[in-house]
Amino acid sequence: MAEQVIPTKKMPPGLQVENVDDRIMTLNVGPQHPGSGHMRIIVKIDGDYIVDADPDPGYVHRGEEKMAESRNYITNIPHLERPVIHDSCNILYPYVLGVEDLVGIEVPERAKYVRVIAAELNRCIYIQYWLAIYGIFLGHSTMFMWPAGDRELLIDLMEKITGARVTHAYFIPGGVRNDVPANFEDVCLRQVNYFEKRIKEYADIFYDNPILKARTEDTGVLSREDAIRLGTTGSVLRASGVDYDLRIKEPYDVYDELDVHTNVLKSGDSYARSKIPWLDMLESCNIIRQALEKMPKSGSIRTKLKPNPKGREDEVYRRVESGRGSAGCHIISRGKPEPYRLKLSVSSFRNLIALPYLLKGEKLGNMPAVYWSLNYWPVEADR
């Protein structure tokens, strides 16, 4: 992590980072801590204030990029979605788009719409899981149970489409793996409408809660300039007032035919960062309804590939808006059935860079609120 990129932040007066050692207590928050995830944050505290925070990821490194070099383009699919199984469609999306570029195949129109629906459903599934953990990190156990329960609606829907509850492996180069079941449109519309009604109730118990507002507003403020300088993406960037959504800026598949709105909040604090994904879920429901309406009712869902497709000698970089921000995939091909090099550029790692900057000078009680509001998924950052 480049030190010089991190801007200095004004600390509250009276806090000392150095010189007086016995004032400072070092806490290892993680990897076996209920508030850490699969990583460690080495936190130095002076009383109730955090004077230094050093995130230490790498506990769940799986070597996905190296594994991808010895597997061909089709067998790469099931393991490339592993870094973030709750958002498996979106993490696979840039890889599939890139391979389509390399192999040079066109995707049928119906498959594009099915992909958009699956990706938006998966975004909601991921955000629900993230929101559940955000709730329990703030001590709000109802907000843990409600999203975890409502998530089942969409998981059932994804199970109907793909046959798997979480790890779908649904997107393949050339389209999707199998067609949606009969009367899928009706079931999907009904479930999504109910889901939207449910998530609107979260505002009553969580987002309009006076204690939550008092606790998370004006904590961990990331200004617009710093958000851009630190290279954050996705909900973190949009919470700081930057209107940046790849579905609009670099539309892929059929997003340019749909009416996609993006949600931007100005304040850049933990509250805004936690609210943006929830607004994204409401927007996803709109996108799904539009896509269901415009989707061709019949047609091919997959362009046939050769059994072991070879990419042309080229390199390609594609990126999509995942549940956490931009997820990119850089593939270098040497004309073999396997990629010569595959690089996943994930938003979790980008957002993690903002963590030490945001935690400095915060109170210890704000640590979970700031940490999890960065929309960070530890397994994805390690890849």
Partner 1 sequence: MSVIAPKFRLGYFLKGIFDNAFWILTIVTLAGIPAIQIVLFYLELPVIDGELLTAFLAFTWLFNPTMQVPLIKALIYSDLFRIVAFPGFGFAALIAAGTIFVERKMLAKLQLRVGPFYCGKVEGILQLAGDGLKLISKEIIIPAKADKPLFWAAPVLFVGTAAAFVALIPVAPGGWVVADLDVGLLAVFAVIGFFPIITILSAWSANSKFPFIGGIRALHQMVSFEIPLILSLLGVVILTGTLNLSEIVESQSSFPWIIFMPIGAIVFFTTMLAELERIPFDLPEAESEIVAGWLTEFSGMMYGLVQLGSYLKLYAFAALFVIIFLGGWTGPVFWPPLETELITEGIPIPNYAGDPILTVNAPGLPLLDQDPNEWVLQQQGELQYTSGQLLVSGVIWFVLKTVGVIFFILLPRGVFPRIRLDMLLHIGWYKLIGLSFVNIFIALGLVYAGVIGPGGIL
Q: How far is CA 294 from CA 89, 112, 170, 297, 333, in A?
A: 21, 11, 21, 9, 35
Q: Is 203 in the site for partner 1 (CB under 8 A)?
A: no
SS3 string of 154-182?
Answer: HHHHHHHHHCCCCCCCCEECCEECCCCCC
Query: Minimum CB separation from partner 1 for residue 60, in Å?
Result: 19
Distance CA 84, CA 376 (A): 11
Q: For the chain, give me the number of helices (H) and strands (E)?
A: 16, 8
Question: For partner 1, which residue of 6, 15, 27, 353 counts as binding (CB under 8 A)?
Answer: 27
Tokens representing 304?
């046939």
Task: Give whichever of 290 and 375 is closer to partner 1, judged by the CB atom.
Answer: 375
Task: Give whichever of 30 and 173 is closer to partner 1, judged by the CB atom.
Answer: 30
Q: Are strands 175-176 and 171-172 parallel, antiparallel or unpaired?
A: antiparallel
Q: Is 143 in the site for partner 1 (CB under 8 A)?
A: yes
Query: Minimum CB separation from partner 1 for residue 6, in Å?
Result: 24
Burial of 40 (0-12, 13-18, 19+ CB in 10 A): buried
CB 312 within 8 A of CB 104: yes
Query: Minimum CB separation from partner 1 for residue 97, in Å?
Result: 37
Tokens representing 91?
């993490």
Question: For partner 1, which residue of 7, 16, 48, 190 counts as binding (CB under 8 A)?
Answer: 48
Q: Is 147 in the site for partner 1 (CB under 8 A)?
A: no
Nearest by Cα to 351 from 209, 254, 183, 230: 230
What is the contact mask toward partner 1 in residues 63 to 102, using x (rule: CB under 8 A)? ----------------------------------------
Question: For partner 1, which residue of 142, 193, 223, 308 counts as binding (CB under 8 A)?
Answer: 142
Query: Minimum CB separation from partner 1 for residue 50, in Å?
Result: 11
10 Å Cβ neighbour count for 361?
17
Question: For partner 1, which residue of 141, 193, 223, 308 counts as binding (CB under 8 A)?
Answer: 141
Tokens representing 307?
């059994």
Q: Is 149 in the site for partner 1 (CB under 8 A)?
A: yes
Nearest by Cα to 196 from 279, 81, 268: 279
Task: Give whichever of 49 and 317 is closer to partner 1, judged by the CB atom.
Answer: 49
| H or E stretch covering 25 | strand 24-29
Query: Minimum CB separation from partner 1 for residue 151, in Å?
Result: 12
10 Å Cβ neighbour count for 272?
26
Q: How many chain residues touch partner 1 (CB under 8 A)? A: 32
Which residue do the tokens 């699919």 mark?
77
**How distant is the alpha carbon of residue 26 from its chain centre?**
30
Query: Minimum CB separation from partner 1 for residue 202, in Å?
Result: 13
Query: Minimum CB separation from partner 1 for residue 37, in Å?
Result: 11
Query: Minimum CB separation from partner 1 for residue 198, in Å?
Result: 10
10 Å Cβ neighbour count for 225?
12
State which of positions 311-370 bind partner 1 (CB under 8 A).
363-368
Question: For partner 1, which residue of 158, 188, 212, 329 counts as binding (CB under 8 A)?
Answer: 212
Question: For partner 1, which residue of 166, 205, 242, 264 counts as binding (CB under 8 A)?
Answer: 205
State which of positions 98-137 bind partner 1 (CB under 8 A).
135-137
Query: Minimum CB separation from partner 1 for residue 43, in Å?
Result: 10
Distance CA 187, CA 55 (A): 43
Binding piece for partner 1, criterion CB under 8 A, among 112-120, 144-152, 160-168, 246-254: 144-152
Instruction: Name the site residues for partner 1 (rule: CB under 8 A).
Output: 25, 27, 33-35, 48, 135-146, 149, 205-206, 209, 211-212, 214-215, 363-368
